[in-house]
């Protein structure tokens, strides 16, 4: 009997494996080596470190002087974490021993990712810019997005130099995921359009993950689901609507991280009450 040996997400079943503890809201999740890192708003011990097999809390890292909690990502090459801080418009860099530095972004930072040459990609939603920093915090020429990409949340740079970007806040009529040219001026491909809950629509696509074959996972916040798109930003044949459905979340998914090597998808699940996040956890899926 023929069996598929492909490692792409189309040939896998997504199943819930575990949930990490409910506690303060989770503003981001990332993985590095055999550890999972959660960002929670606390005075100290803001980054919780979990084992990725037992899912046991191992230790906590403190980020000095952090005030605003937005997103966290990791760099496998330099073995460090990056955290965006919206109140002082900066990025914090934290090594695995807990040593921290920070540098200014000079705009409000939002989503974070690391590109193929190990530079940090910072999405600045209010000014529609993608800023790139080398590991020393030196800024490189930024990218201003085209006029039809309004309120971008998160950007990931592909090996080709193009960007995958998700955009749209509640008052915006258009909520999409776009593949954008390297200079930011042209939308090459897109998925979504008018805000909604039907197949092919989004209601705040807030965060992204891209696998080695350039399949795209999209957190659809208010629709409470995760959508899987092909490299050309089409709905995949297998998952015609979502790869993770709303009934697998207790509250609202906001951030996600894909561990390709261990075939795990980590999705934050946050409660929203009285205009703020009150409680959060991470849901672990096999992919």
Residue 136: which domain range? 26-268
* Residues belonging to the chain: 287
Q: Rounded to an integer, what distance in angstroms lies between the CA atom of residue 80 and that of residue 201? A: 35
Q: Which two tokens stand for residue 63?
A: 């980020």
* Domains in the chain, number: 1
pLDDT above 80 (res 45): yes
Is 281 within the bounds of a domain?
Answer: no
What is the number of helices (H) and of strands (E) in the chain? 0, 23
pLDDT for the residue 237? 59
Q: Let me know: does 111 contact 123? Beta carbons within 8 Å.
A: yes
pLDDT grade for 274, boundaries at 50, 70 and 90: confident
CA distances from 61 to 34, 47, 106, 136, 250 (A): 16, 5, 26, 21, 27
pLDDT above 60 (res 8): no
- 3-state class (DSSP) for residue 38: strand
Is 284 within the bounds of a domain?
Answer: no
- pLDDT tens-place string over residues 230-240: 999 998 656 55
pLDDT for the residue 242? 74
pLDDT above 50 (res 138): yes
Quote the radius of gyration of the chain (alpha carbons, Å): 18
Is 276 within the bounds of a domain?
Answer: no
pLDDT for the residue 240? 53
Task: Give the global pTM.
Answer: 0.94
pLDDT for the residue 1? 27
The domain that holds 258 is classified in CATH as 2.120.10.30
**Residue in this structure with the two tokens 């040996």, named with its chain if needed:** 5
Percent residues over pLDDT 70 in the chain? 93
pLDDT for the residue 275? 79
Is 282 within the bounds of a domain?
Answer: no
Q: Which two tokens stand for residue 2?
A: 């023929």
Is 11 within the bounds of a domain?
Answer: no
Is 204 within the bounds of a domain?
Answer: yes
Is 10 within the bounds of a domain?
Answer: no
pLDDT for the residue 177? 98
N-terminal to C-terminal alpha carbon distance within the chain: 23
Q: Let me know: does 154 contact 165? Beta carbons within 8 Å.
A: yes
**DSSP calls for 206-259:** EEEEE-TT--EEEEETTTTEEEEE-TTS-B-SS-SS-SB-GGG-SSEEEEEEEE
Is 7 within the bounds of a domain?
Answer: no
Q: Which two tokens stand for residue 127?
A: 């000014």
- pLDDT tens-place string over residues 156-211: 999 999 999 999 999 999 999 999 999 999 999 999 999 999 989 999 999 999 99
Q: Rounded to an integer, what distance in angstroms lies between the CA atom of residue 237 and that of residue 256? A: 22
């Amino acid at each position: 009997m023929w069996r598929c040996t492909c490692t792409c997400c189309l040939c896998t079943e997504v199943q819930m494996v575990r949930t990490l503890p409910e506690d303060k809201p989770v503003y981001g999740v990332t993985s590095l080596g055999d550890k999972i890192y959660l960002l929670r708003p606390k005075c100290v011990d803001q980054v919780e470190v979990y084992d990725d097999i037992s899912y046991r809390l191992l230790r906590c890292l403190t980020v000095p002087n952090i005030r605003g909690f937005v997103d966290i990502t990791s760099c496998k090459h330099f073995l460090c974490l990056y955290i965006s801080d919206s109140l002082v418009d900066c990025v914090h860099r934290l090594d695995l021993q807990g040593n921290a530095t920070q540098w200014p972004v000079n705009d409000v930072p939002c989503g974070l990712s690391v590109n193929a040459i190990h530079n940090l990609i910072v999405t600045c939603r209010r000014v529609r810019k993608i800023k790139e920093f080398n590991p020393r915090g030196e800024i490189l020429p930024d990218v201003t997005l085209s006029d039809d990409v309004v309120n971008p949340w998160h950007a990931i740079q592909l090996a080709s130099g193009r960007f995958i970007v998700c955009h749209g806040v509640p008052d915006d009529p258009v909520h999409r995921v776009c593949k954008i040219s390297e200079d930011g001026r042209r939308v090459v491909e897109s998925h979504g359009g008018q805000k909604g809950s039907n197949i092919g629509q989004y209601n705040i696509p807030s965060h992204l993950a891209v696998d080695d074959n350039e399949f795209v996972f999209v957190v659809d916040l208010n629709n409470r689901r995760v959508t899987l798109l092909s490299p050309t930003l089409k709905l995949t044949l297998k998952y015609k609507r979502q790869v993770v459905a709303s009934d697998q979340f207790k509250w609202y998914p906001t951030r996600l991280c894909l561990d390709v090597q261990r075939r795990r998808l980590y999705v934050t699940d946050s409660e929203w009450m009285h205009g703020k996040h009150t409680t959060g956890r991470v849901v672990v899926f096999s992919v």
